[in-house]
Amino acid sequence: MVQPIVSPCCAEPLEPDDRFCGVCGTELASNGTLSRGSSAASQSPEPTFEEPRQRDHQEQELEGAAAVSDRGLRHHRNEDAFALSASTLRNGKPVVVAVVCDGVSSAHRPDDASAAAAERANASLLEALRRGNSFEDATREALLAAGQAVTDLAAEDPEPDQAPHHNTPACTCVSAMASGKVVTVGWIGDSRAYWIPDDPDTPASRLTEDDSWAARMVSAGLLSEVEAYADSRAHAITAWLGADAPELDPHTTSFEPDGPGVVVVCTDGLWNYAESAEELASAVPADARAHPLRCARALLQVALDRGGRDNVTVAVLPIPVPAGPTEHDPA
């Protein structure tokens, strides 16, 4: 039997070409041992330097939204993905869509999972809007479609007895869809969406609730938020997209803010460094609504400046949506 490749520090399964464990943060040498400078105690592996790949850094900008995704400073590949698009509703109003997905590092092919989910969710949202579906119905349908896309990847993998250390492909997913001042957010997992108003005297807010161990402990009243997120199990997710996921029950919420601002959609590679809505709002530039790509880049830089230990993906949607969003190349 082929022996599974695991991290020598936390025993998490790894792919044959992995040089970094996304769970414990350990950098590995080519023989699967600890590389020079790695330490399970310090959790501060030396950054690796490789030939850049297409997904290491990606940007896209529309007139009504922008997104950036980056490998970060520690991971050997980018396992996040995003999809950004603009369309027109039946009533002629413009609509923008952002989907952000985070591959589960301990699963097989997490980068493929996030890419498949983002692409399928985006396509499903646009198709549902063309049919005239409500925003919330379209969002639920899109998350289920994204889940099926990730499940389909498992059928392409070797049989379990041929690859006993493989968990099936998995990822989290969060989407935001906006037209005029109406915003609908949907999610499964712990990728998040935040509302950041232009008015600094108006409180910012988090629009999503994590599907995670920490969130479950807080919701049950067993631990305070500070206690829960200090626990080593805090970021263990309790819902995800993939063949081995629990039955999917997509979360959705809609709102119409009182004033202008931006919706920030992101993976935990960003919010781990600015967890509360207030912290994130303090990092959002004052001109975010006028310059969403500049805002997305600034938020990425915050994560990199504070350690960049994970992949980072962030999408920014100005609200109200501009009158006629059209896709164009980033500056």
CA dist list (Å): 91 to 94, 125, 182, 322: 9, 17, 14, 15
Q: Six-digit token pair at 134?
A: 């409500």
Phi first, then psi: give them for residue 34, nearest 5 degrees: -65, 135
Number of other CB atoms surrounding residue 310 within 10 Å:
24
CATH superfamily of 54-328: PPM-type phosphatase domain (3.60.40.10)
∠ CA 198-329-102 to the nearest 5 degrees? 70
- pLDDT lower than 50: segments of the chain: 1-4, 8-11, 23-49, 162, 326-331
pLDDT of residue 100: 98
DSSP characters for 242-299? ETTSPPP--EEEEE--SS-EEEEEE-HHHHTTS-SHHHHHHHS-TTTTT-HHHHHHHH
* Inter-residue contact 285 to 293 (CB < 8 Å): no
pLDDT at 159: 58
Query: Side chain identity at 248, as an amino acid letter?
Result: L
Q: What pLDDT sits at residue 229?
A: 83
Residue 309 and residue 270: Cα distance in Å, rounded?
10
Element (H, E) at 303: helix 292-305
- Whether the CB-CB separation of 314 and 300 falls below 8 Å is answered with yes
Q: What is the CA radius of gyration of the chain?
A: 19
- Domain map of the chain by residue range? 1-49, 54-328
CA distance 216 to 314: 25
The per-residue pLDDT for 64 is 84
Q: Give the separation between CA 308 and CA 185, rounded to whole angstroms.
A: 26
pLDDT for residue 150: 97
| CA geometry: angle 82, 83, 88, nearest 5 deg | 155
What pLDDT shows up at residue 20?
52
Query: Distance between CA atoms of 204 and 318, rounded to whole angstroms?
Result: 14
Residues 6+ apart with CB under 8 A from 217: 223, 227, 228, 231
Please state, in angstroms and rounded to a whole number, the distance separating the CA atoms of residues 167 and 146. Answer: 18
Confidence (pLDDT) at 118: 98
